[in-house]
Amino acid sequence: MKALVFDGNLKLLDVPLPVRRPGTSLVKVNLAGICNTDLEITRGYMDYHGILGHELLGTVIESDSAILSGKRVTTEINIPCKTCDLCKQGLFKHCRNIKTVGISGYPGVFAEYAVLPDESLHVIPESVSSLKAVFTEPLAAAAQVFESVELSPDQRVCLIGDGKLGLLISMVLSAKGIIHRLVGKHPERIGLLGSSSGALFLSIDEAETYDRHFDIVIEATGNPLGLAQALRVVRPQGKVVLKSTYQGKPSFDVTSVVVREIELIGSRCGPFEKAISMLEEGTVDPTTLIENIFHIDESLKAFEAAKKSLKVIIRMD
């Protein structure tokens, strides 16, 4: 099969078909989305070598599970060991021996086929289009903001970052009735959020005037400078929700966190069931973020496009 592999360099290769084991399903990949994490891996993040990709819409073609056989599915990315002390506490996505699809220790989905654990797969309802369904994983990550911090319409909320994840978070905030300031570099992207958006755009320069103002700041820039900016605009005893992952380490004023008693909250993967429900109910339409769709034969070109685009999708058919 064809697969997009990173081994220090990005290559489209012919590789053996994956072998299915009990408790796993063979999935024919239909669509796969490129996210910033994939780009960061090619810059050295996680020191991962192998088949890239973790945002999937596929069809189960071989499985021991009658529930999954023949169904369109997406996959959670974390594969815990279920035996370590953290797993026994229910902290499965923080497993000491965790494998992460296309990111750490487990082959990804930028390939014609993938073998994935049955318990990681979620069936996509027929009413949800394939192009919407491929956004399930990043939409779940966006929805995790509501699991990480209590949000209400009366709070002053700021979202920093108008890239792929930032715009998805903005969509989720709006769906929940949260009016918010969206700080970014691309004011035209507000038009991608729909007429019911609760986002009010601020340029980076305009945001500088909001000194210690917001109750909650969500940082989703994918840039090491984003945290420093978040700390400038959050009020004393406010909360900063961190969504960015990237190669390298940010430099920021730790003293201000202590003196102003700011709470920093990490927020990673999220609830797939809630993401699928939002897609099924139509409260969020992430397909407005798609800028290009490339066949896997053009996957190297797709990665180049993803560096300067919003969402880029790789199709296998």
DSSP output for 196-255:
T--EEEEEHHHHTT-TT-EEEEEE--SSTHHHHHHHHHEEEEEEEEE----SS-----HH
Place of tokens 């189960």: 60
Pairing verdict, β 263-266 and 234-242: parallel
* pTM score, whole prediction: 0.95
Q: How many CB atoms lie within 10 A of CB 250?
A: 14
Residue 253 CA to residue 270 CA, distance in Å, equals 29
For residue 261, the model assigns a pLDDT of 97
pLDDT in tens, the chain (317 residues): 999 999 999 999 999 999 999 999 999 999 999 999 999 999 999 999 999 999 999 999 999 999 999 999 999 999 999 999 999 999 999 999 999 999 999 999 999 999 999 999 999 999 999 999 999 999 999 999 999 999 999 999 999 999 999 999 999 999 999 999 999 999 999 999 998 999 999 999 999 999 999 999 999 998 888 999 999 999 999 999 999 987 878 888 899 999 999 999 999 999 999 999 999 999 999 999 999 999 999 999 999 999 999 999 999 99
Tokens of 89: 């506490």
Helix, strand or coil for residue 148? helix
